[in-house]
Amino acid sequence: MSSRFVSHIRWWFFIAPLLALFLMPLLDNEQLFKVYPEETDSVSTLLGPDRADSAIERANADFKSWFVDTGAVRATMDQSDHKDLDDTIGNPVARRWAHNFWFLIYRITYRASVMRVWVLGTILMCVASFIDGGTRRKVNAAAGGVVRPLHFHVAAHGILLVLGVVFTVLMLPMPILAPFWIAVSATLVFLVWRAAASYQ
């Protein structure tokens, strides 16, 4: 894998989402920034109503603690409603941006809250797969097996890619159904195993 490829991965999956975070709220469609009903329904179906409600409560608490109680929301909204701005251009655009931005931030907070349900299990499975992959590597080396560094590099870049996808998905203007997080966990566990088994 070339360094140019890695730099492109960094751009598309880490820097570009940050730009989208500040440019997307300019769009004049409030529905693009709210939590989709299909998303909450899928969480309720997969995890049950109690855990789905718990994810919502945790997202509400985190959003309030991080952005409301700190005064960030009020400062932004007050600035967007400033009377010195041009009522025909500046004020409506600034107000729309502020409302959409905080809707988007709340959706990111909610998705992160849902994702946290799988974080501990994914970490434990990654640790187990890393140990198993390391054991597999030692057994293969003792048996005179061939080491394939390319497998390690592909797996390592795959892990970077998965983490970048997760970062991007948090703000995508489309429903992210709960099974997606299972697929992410399984993929990450496999890539960690492959990287550990192929490390030279």
What average pLDDT does the structure give for the chain? 85
On the question of pLDDT at 10 being above 80, the answer is: no
Residues 43, 112: contact at Cβ < 8 Å?
Answer: no
Residue 86 amino acid letter: D
Residues 98, 76: contact at Cβ < 8 Å?
Answer: yes
Find the helix or strand (DSSP H, E) in which 3 lies.
helix 3-10
Q: What is the pLDDT of residue 54?
A: 94
| 154 vs 63 pLDDT, higher one | 63
Q: Could you give the CA distance from residue 4 to residue 2 in angstroms, rounded to a whole number?
A: 5
pLDDT, tens digit, for every residue of 139-165? 776 766 656 677 888 888 888 888 888
Residues 187, 162: contact at Cβ < 8 Å?
Answer: yes
Angle at 62 between CA 179 and CA 10, to 5 degrees: 60
**Alpha-helix runs per DSSP H in 11-89:** 16-23, 37-47, 49-63, 72-80
Q: Could you give the CA distance from residue 22 to residue 32 in angstroms, rounded to a whole number?
A: 14
Residues 55, 43: contact at Cβ < 8 Å?
Answer: yes
pLDDT, tens digit, for every residue of 91-138? 788 888 999 999 999 999 999 999 999 999 999 999 999 999 888 888
Q: What is the pLDDT of residue 89?
A: 46
On the question of pLDDT at 40 being above 60, the answer is: yes
Question: What is the pLDDT confidence band of residue 8, given thresholds at 50, 70 and 90?
Answer: low
Q: What is the pLDDT of residue 144?
A: 63
Question: What is the pLDDT confidence band of residue 179, given thresholds at 50, 70 and 90?
Answer: very high
